[in-house]
Amino acid sequence: MTDLATKPSHPPTRRPGRRSYGTALTHTVLLVGGVVMVMPLLYQLMMSLSSNAEVQSVPPSLWPERLQWHNYADVFSTINFGHQLYISILITVIRVIAQVLLASLSGYAFARMRFRGNGVLLAIVLSVMMIPPQIYLISQYQLIHQLGWLNTVMGIVTPGLATAFGTFLMRQFFLGLPDELEEAARLDGANPFQIFSRIMMPLARNGMFALGIMTTMWSWNELLWPLVITTDDTVRPLSVGIANLQGQYESEYPLMMAASLMAIAPILILFIVFQKRVIAGVARTGIK
């Protein structure tokens, strides 16, 4: 968008030499930096296809002599990867659906409904957003324990079904939508839920999408809560499984690399496909 708007305003006739010199320098800097950023992942890919001896060789071997594709199959036969993957998908899907729905409802109420206590409740929600979640981990743990949900998907998932962040994000999003449509629907006699579901929710698609993607990333990558709430391998998601690999398979480096790459892959693919919308969503939370 900005490209189109600004292209004509930079006539290439002005100081062409300097501009192309600067551009080349910019690209060099960005490319070198970018390679540094992804290098650990490329290195991980390389190690995942190496033999264990190659990973531990000095100097480091830059390319495996024979590509050990079986390392990826070994992940499934050695550790409980398939099951952990299933748990990760399950908790992420549940959280995304709940978050998007509940945050839209509450965000809409805060943005568009006038009721006594709106300001106070919003202040409470914002204060929850500011408390680092690790701090009340013990009490949350006790609560889940009392509910009998330790070592259950229910226990992992429930506290994350709604977040203050999601509510705030959706509130900001609804605040930015025009009033007119809503007013018209109200005059036509639609009730608040109809206005919300038929008119405002479709308009808020982008915000919901951004929240959904962010919830996916957060849920998929989360370590501390599922680590604390589970001891049983059958309900542990990939994040915990990967963290435990290094204790259990201390020196099976290629196996560890293959497993952690596979754990990263789904989010990485999702990110690359929806890159623009993820960035727009994250950026929105920061600026307005």
Partner 1 sequence: MSAPPTARSSRSAPSTDAGQARRRSRRLRGSPLWPALFLAPTLLILGVFHLWPGVQTLWYSFTEWGAFGGTTFTGIANYARMLKDPEIIRSFLNTAVFTLIVMISIPIGTVLASMIERPGMRFRSLYRTLYFIPFVTMPAAVAIVWKIIFNGDFGVANWLLSLIGISGPYWLSTPPFALIAVSIVGMWSAMGFNLILLSAGVREIPRELYEAAEIDGASPLRQFFSVTVPLMTPSLFFVTIITVIQAFQQFDLIFIMLGTNNIALPETQGLVFIFYAQAFINNDKGYAAAIGILALVVIGLLTMLQFRLQKRWVHYD
Q: Hey, which residues between 2 and 61 contact partner 1 (CB under 8 A)?
A: 2-3, 5-7, 9-10, 14, 22, 26-27, 29-31, 33-35, 37-38, 40-41, 43-44, 47, 55-60
Q: How far is CA 65 from CA 42, 59, 68, 163, 218, in A?
A: 17, 14, 9, 49, 37
72 binds partner 1 (CB under 8 A): no
Give the single-character DSSP code of 136.
Answer: G
Residue 42 or 184 with smaller CB distance to partner 1: 42
187 binds partner 1 (CB under 8 A): no
What is d(CA 139, CA 145) in angstroms, rounded to the nearest whole number? 10
Residue 77 or 287 with smaller CB distance to partner 1: 287
Residue 71 or 239 with smaller CB distance to partner 1: 239
Give the helix ranges, DSSP H, for 113-223: 118-130, 137-146, 153-157, 164-175, 180-187, 192-194, 201-203, 205-221
| Nearest of 221, 222, 215 to residue 281 by alpha carbon | 215
CB of 87 to partner 1, least distance (A): 14
Q: What share of the chain is helix, strand, coil (3-state, %, to 5)?
A: 80, 0, 20
140 binds partner 1 (CB under 8 A): yes
Residue 49 or 256 with smaller CB distance to partner 1: 256
Coil vs helix vs strand at 228:
helix
154 binds partner 1 (CB under 8 A): no
Of these, 13, 17, 130, 180, which contacts partner 1 (CB under 8 A)?
Answer: 130
Residue 126 or 181 with smaller CB distance to partner 1: 126
Residue 181 or 186 with smaller CB distance to partner 1: 186
What part of residues 76-115 is at the interface with partner 1 (CB under 8 A)? 102-103, 105-106, 108-110, 113-115
Residue 79 or 125 with smaller CB distance to partner 1: 125
- Hey, what are 96's tokens? 């995304």
CB of 112 to partner 1, least distance (A): 9
Sequence-separated (6 or more) residues with CB below 8 Å from residue 274: 209, 213
178 binds partner 1 (CB under 8 A): no
Of these, 75, 204, 211, 261, which contacts partner 1 (CB under 8 A)?
Answer: 261
What is d(CA 157, CA 168) in angstroms, rounded to the nearest whole number? 20
Of these, 178, 189, 232, 272, which contacts partner 1 (CB under 8 A)?
Answer: 272
What's the CA dihedral at 132, 176, 94, 248 to 10 degrees? -40
101 residue type, one letter: L
Q: Tell me how many residues contact partner 1 (CB under 8 A).
A: 110
Of these, 190, 217, 233, 277, which contacts partner 1 (CB under 8 A)?
Answer: 217
What's the CA dihedral at 85, 90, 92, 96 to 10 degrees? 160
Residue 133 or 181 with smaller CB distance to partner 1: 133
CB of 13 to partner 1, least distance (A): 13
Of these, 68, 71, 92, 167, which contacts partner 1 (CB under 8 A)?
Answer: 167
Give the single-character DSSP code of 222.
Answer: -
